[in-house]
Structure 1
Amino acid sequence: MFRKVLFAVMGLALALLLNSLLLTPADAAVPVADVYNWGYANLGSNQRVCQKIAFQPQMQASSTSSGQQPVQIRSEVVDNRYCAHLPKVSR
């Protein structure tokens, strides 16, 4: 009796181990960091606009051994109310 229970527990443990090693995990939600900042509309422009800058980590493995993770950076002009609490610093 004890032997059957022991084999059953070992079989279950082996099945769980193989399941976790062989199956790919479900796509987890990747956090996106959004930052709002005053910036120039384009190069050579004097017009200041509110920009939303989004940083999203990439799921690909880094080719270097630096330990850094690649990110995708997107920027878009948004309404000025998002930057209303930020000072417009002149450069």
Structure 2
Amino acid sequence: MSEGETDPQTEREARVEAMLRRCLLRPPGGMSHDMRNPHEVENFECTDEYCMYCRYYVEVCAECGGSELTLTTHCPMEQITSNTGKRILSGKLDYRGRLWTEL
């Protein structure tokens, strides 16, 4: 392997180790939401004067995309679809203990 190249095996092992570490850090019953402002990235300049993220500092979960009213008890660790978000918002669905629960 030439200088500057990375070993694919080493990269794969690093990804697996990161995934395992993340799984081990999950609290009992599910994952906590990782709330962030989508604009909190280096060198980002928002030009929308009506941007809800800037005006009201709305945060979304980096894992599931849920925000404020569409947050479940635990994070499902997958993107919440529009239909699922509507059911969560209406109080008909929740994610608890690593299971989707009809309410």
Q: Normalising by the residue count of structure 2, what TM-score does the alignment of the two structures yield? A: 0.25
Q: Normalising by the residue count of structure 1, what TM-score does the alignment of the two structures yield? A: 0.27
User: Larger radius of gyration, structure 1 or 2?
Assistant: 1
- Higher strand proportion (structure 1 or 2): 1
